[in-house]
Amino acid sequence: SRTYKLAVLPGDGIGPEVMAEALKVLDAVAARSGLSFEYNHQLVGGAAIDAVGKALPAETVAACEASDAILFGSVGGPKWEKLPPNEQPERGALLPLRKHFGLFANLRPGICYPALTSSSPIRPDLVEGGFDVLCVRELTGGMYFGQPKSRTTLPDGDIEVIDTMVYKKSEIVRIAHVAFKAAQLRRKHVTSVDKANVLTNSVLWRETMVEVAKEYPDVTLAHLYVDNAAMQLIKAPRSFDVLVTENLFGDILSDEMAMIAGSLGMLASASLGKPKGDGLYFGLFEPSGGTAPDIAGMGIANPIAQILSVALLLRFSLGLEKEAASIESAVKKVIDDGLRTGDIFSGAPGTKKVNTKEIGEAVIAAL
């Protein structure tokens, strides 16, 4: 059987320490299943800036190209905040990676585990029983890369700035299919978010969602304006199944949803490129949270988001559904057993505060 090649980009802050646990979990899965993985460790983000002067070295890109998927940690931190935005770790590494590999579909599960509803900032009666929303964000279109982007000094001395929101119908069609296919494997409901009462982009977005929906008669489709969606996510997170939206709205709403779920340290994400034809995608897999510079190096960060990123990688890029599900069940068991890193520890009876390594070991034991 073949050896799967993974580009491993731990990055900054807590990235390296949570990545270490995620790889140990993957090693354990490999040992149990007889699968073989090869890790190609590469620099990215602030660590790459410090070592070789740029956030995304050519060598890192080449290693990703030679791999089956990218396992990403997180990038950024106060040390690099004074660089020009283009050169900073987040923008300088993430946006070029998305563009280079055509990672158009960002899947962010917003899961609030039944045992962790007390970590949610939402009133207990609104999140009782937990929830599981999948946010599907278009990741390579809209205002992120749209041209022209310009800054001009006008004759009267005023300055004018322009950004452009552009979508092609074909880009909307392909993300719609990702959302509807995902919904078919879940509770069969898609909520499309737009601002069709103001944006020409959104009018085409809405039309296209309606059109693609016809190919999925088993899935229901609802539309929300983005301002209303920002409200409904708070009031009724349990009413959502799959939420699909364009790049910038997705940036805002998926973070809002993560906050509502209550623990960024638990949430993984997948950024998928063109389908490979066999139902699999080249992709980049990363935690939804940041580098948490305040606790970096202390060994107390929550590694679960990084561990669940491995599960998403196995599922979407390698088609190893059984192994992916085994990691997800193991994580669930660890939570049900009451183990908590500081970010989700509330002192509730039956729970115990543990560190990064202890979670990693517990997940392996629960596999």
- Binder among 121, 210, 322, 346 for a second copy (CB under 8 A): 121
For a second copy, give the closer residue by CB, 38 or 163.
163
26/244 with CB nearer ligand IPM: 244
Exactly one of 251, 332, 337, 357 is catalytic; name it.
251
**113: Cβ contacts below 8 Å, ≥ 6 apart:** 130, 266, 332, 335
* Strand, coil or helix: 153: strand
144 is known as an active-site residue: yes
Looking only at the bridges linking them, the beta strands covering 189-194 and 220-225 are: parallel
Whether 255 is a known active-site residue: answer yes
Shortest Å distance, C-beta 203 to a second copy: 7
Q: Is 83 in the site for a second copy (CB under 8 A)?
A: no
Q: Which of 99, 225, 255, 337 is catalytic?
A: 255
- 124 annotated among ligand-binding-site residues: no
Residue nearest to ligand IPM (CB): 90
Is the CA virtual torsion 360, 364, 366, 367 positive or negative?
positive
Query: Is 88 within any annotated ligand binding site?
Result: yes
**Of 307, 275, 211, 330, the residue nearest 18 (C-alpha):** 307
CB of 304 closer than 8 Å to CB of 24: no
235 given a catalytic annotation: no
Smallest distance, a second copy to C-beta of residue 62, A:
26
C-beta closer to ligand IPM: residue 228 or 329: 228
Distance from C-alpha of 47 to C-alpha of 80, rounded to nearest angstrom: 10
Of 76 and 360, CB closest to ligand IPM: 76
Minimal distance in Å, beta carbon 187 to a second copy?
22
Largest CA distance in the chain: 71
Check: CB of residue 237 under 8 Å from CB of residue 126. Answer: yes
Cβ closer to a second copy: 85 or 279? 85
Q: What angle do CA 177, 112, 337 make, to 5 degrees?
A: 125
Q: Active site includes 163?
A: no
The sign one gets for the Cα dihedral 286, 222, 167, 154 is negative
Active-site entry in 4, 68, 113, 144: 144
Cβ at position 255, least distance to a second copy in Å: 4
The minimum distance between CB 85 and ligand IPM, in angstroms, equals 9
Report how far residue 27's alpha carbon sits from residue 83's, in angstroms, rounded to the nearest whole number: 37
- Single out the catalytic residue among 227, 274, 322, 336: 227
How far apart are alpha carbons 161 and 155 in whole angstroms? 14
Tell me: is residue 361 an annotated ligand-binding position. no
Q: Which residues pair with 110 in a beta bridge?
A: 133
Q: Which residues contact 234 (CB under 8 A, 6 or more apart)?
A: 122, 256, 260
Query: Which stretch, 24-32, 46-54, 224-232, 333-341, contacts a second copy (CB under 8 A)?
Result: 224-232
Q: Is 80 annotated as a binding residue?
A: yes
How crowded is residue 220: how many other Cβ atoms within 10 Å of its Cβ?
Answer: 14
Whether residue 194 is annotated as binding a ligand: the answer is no
Burial class for 238, CB neighbours closer than 10 Å (0-12, 13-18, 19+): middle
Parallel, antiparallel or unpaired: strands 281-287 and 268-275: antiparallel
Site for ligand IPM, rule CB under 6 A: 90-91, 94-95, 197-198, 227, 251
Q: Taking the CB of residue 148, how many other CB atoms lie within 10 A of it?
A: 8
- Total number of residues binding a second copy (CB under 8 A)? 57
Residue 340 is labelled as binding a ligand: no
Whether the Cβ atoms of residue 71 and residue 303 lie closer than 8 Å to each other: no
Give me the half-sphere count of Cα atoms (radius 13 Å) on the Cβ side of residue 109. Answer: 23
Which one, 99 or 188, has the nearer CB to a second copy?
Answer: 99
Contacts to a second copy from residues 252-271, by CB under 8 A: 252-253, 255-256, 258-260
Q: Which does 329 bind (CB under 5 to 8 A by kind): a second copy, ligand IPM, none?
A: none
As annotated, the active-site residues are 144, 195, 227, 251, 255
Q: Contact residues for a second copy (CB under 8 A)?
A: 85, 88, 90-91, 95, 120-124, 126, 143-144, 146, 149-151, 154, 158-170, 195-201, 203-204, 226-228, 230-231, 234-235, 248-249, 251-253, 255-256, 258-260
Binding-site annotation, residues for NAD(+): 77-90
Annotated binding residues for substrate, as ranges? 98, 108, 137, 227
